[in-house]
Amino acid sequence: MTIKLFNTMTRKIEEFKPLVAGKMGFYSCGPTVYHYAHIGNLRTMIHNDILKRMFIENGYDVHHVMNITDVGHLTSDDDDSGDDKMERGAARENKSVWDIAKFYTDEFLHDYDDLNIMRPTDMPRATDYIAEQIELVKKLEELGYTYEIPDDGIYYDTSKFAAYGALTGGSLSGNRAGARVEFNDAKRNPTDFALWKFSPRDKKRQMEWDSPWGVGFPGWHAECSAMSMKLLGNHFDIHTGGEDLSRVHHTNEIAQSEPITGAPWVNYWVHFSFLVDKSGEKMSKSNGEFLGLNAVRNRGYDPMIYRYFILLGHYQTQLAFSWDAMDAAANGYKNIIRRVADILTDSAPDKMDVEKYNVWHDKILSPVSDNMKTAEALVQIQELLRDKTTNASTKIALFEFIDRLLGLQFIDRAKQLNDAESETAPAEIVALANERATAKAARDWARADELRAQIDAAGWTVVDTRDGTKIVKKI
């Protein structure tokens, strides 16, 4: 099937052509592990996962690299100043930076797994690739792209790279200068950035390494160039990240890499739009207040509902998060689960209808392959559920495919629902349900509601069906 993606570099939706037939290599910028990931970061991770699953379902062998940034990411990435985020996280929690990195990497992966995001093929940590980053800076130095600012670091001279800024349209006038309050006067050009930062003279850093230029730590952008080239080669298919990364981080990654590779480095740049709050404010860790997946869990939502909520939007559009929107997503998701559960218990299993399977398979895969229109695929899924001419076995096989493509675990949750429904409620819950039925018969709605709430609090739900009242375990 044809795959199309919006390429930030050309500002066009383009047909994907692999570098090597049947293979797709991609690099996605991963988390900075100084705090919990917020649900905005996780939105980006979910889109990465859909991109990957879509390629796999189209028959590609996918090599996915995602870095873990555990060093050298300053609070003001735009001008290489401010505190190191990792050291700040360590000070906040009175732990070592190494402990902070380990703890938040584990927490991140817990979220990753709970959202059913496929683990990357490689997940390199920046601190494991210091030698490669030093090598990168050395090469750039040999090629004449660097200069030193005493007591500060080794900088990249962006005026030496003719294509600088191509990713954002080539126009970088006002880039940073507008947003910044102070400006590092020692830089030759406002867009120049640090490749290697020196450790401060008066303070010992917890993470620092020897280098040909003195003790210090790599600039934030160095790791992605060094690790992607090491693991994916000098030329690979796709590079992704959140929309904030194109202007500075990815622009600088290109400037660091292309003088070395001597040719285009990445073929397609894919950027995911932000998750914002109701007032359009971007969710961000440095804001202090942010929602992580724990907030979603603590409110009783299955993380799959968050995943479903994200797939209702398109990756090129900002998406506004609210608990109301989550409730709407929960209804939609549970509705599908309910119907899949019914299909699973269909007592007359019939032979799979290959023709129907293929038709629906393509109807669902094609919108996702066409610039990742997941919401359209979800509409097709509703159509499939309504289709009376497709039998249960075929629908089940299709849902197995849908679960591989969208990772929404429909079958798994539907089985859980069926199991919960077959479990018999304990006597005290049955007694409460009977009392509720009596209250309802007496039209005492307030009492009936009160009893329903009690049953609910005990982890059960009363469902009024055409065949009477059922008591089912909540999942």
| Alpha helices (runs of H) in 155-237, residue ranges in sequence order | 222-232
Q: Give the nearest distance from C-beta 284 to ligand AMP in angstroms.
A: 6
The structure tokens 């830089």 sit at 187
329 binds Zn ion per the rule CB under 5 A: no
Contact string (CB under 6 A) for ligand AMP, positions 46-85, x = contact: -----------------------x----------------
| Alpha helices (runs of H) in 237-373, residue ranges in sequence order | 251-261, 293-298, 303-311, 323-344, 354-369
29 binds ligand AMP per the rule CB under 6 A: yes
CA nearest to 46, candidates 242, 207, 331, 249:
242
One residue of 25, 40, 153, 313 binding ligand AMP per CB under 6 A: 40
The helix (H) or strand (E) run that includes residue 58 is none
How many residues interact with ligand AMP (rule CB under 6 A)? 18
Q: Which does 413 bind (CB under 5 to 8 A by kind): Zn ion, ligand AMP, none?
A: none
255 binds Zn ion per the rule CB under 5 A: no
One residue of 8, 26, 43, 154 binding ligand AMP per CB under 6 A: 43
Q: Quick one: 320 exposed, middle or buried, by C-beta within 10 A (0-12, 13-18, 19+)?
A: middle
Q: Which does 48 bind (CB under 5 to 8 A by kind): ligand AMP, Zn ion, none?
A: none
Buried b (16+ CB within 10 A) or exposed e, 403-433: bebbbbbbbebbbbbbebbeeebeeebeebb
Kindly report the number of other CB atoms within 10 A of residue 294's CB atom.
13
Question: Which stretch, 173-181, 236-244, 323-331, 351-359, contacts ligand AMP (CB under 6 A)?
Answer: 236-244
Kindly report the number of other CB atoms within 10 A of residue 124's CB atom.
21
- Whether the CB-CB separation of 205 and 57 falls below 8 Å is answered with no
Identity at 322, one-letter amino acid code:
S
241 binds ligand AMP per the rule CB under 6 A: yes
Question: Which stretch, 41-49, 58-66, 184-192, 463-471, contacts ligand AMP (CB under 6 A)?
Answer: 41-49
One residue of 5, 29, 310, 429 binding Zn ion per CB under 5 A: 29
- 208 is written with which tokens? 């620092």
224 binds Zn ion per the rule CB under 5 A: yes
Binding site for ligand AMP (CB under 6 A): 29, 31-32, 40-41, 43-44, 69, 241-242, 244-245, 274-275, 282-285
Binding site for Zn ion (CB under 5 A): 29, 224
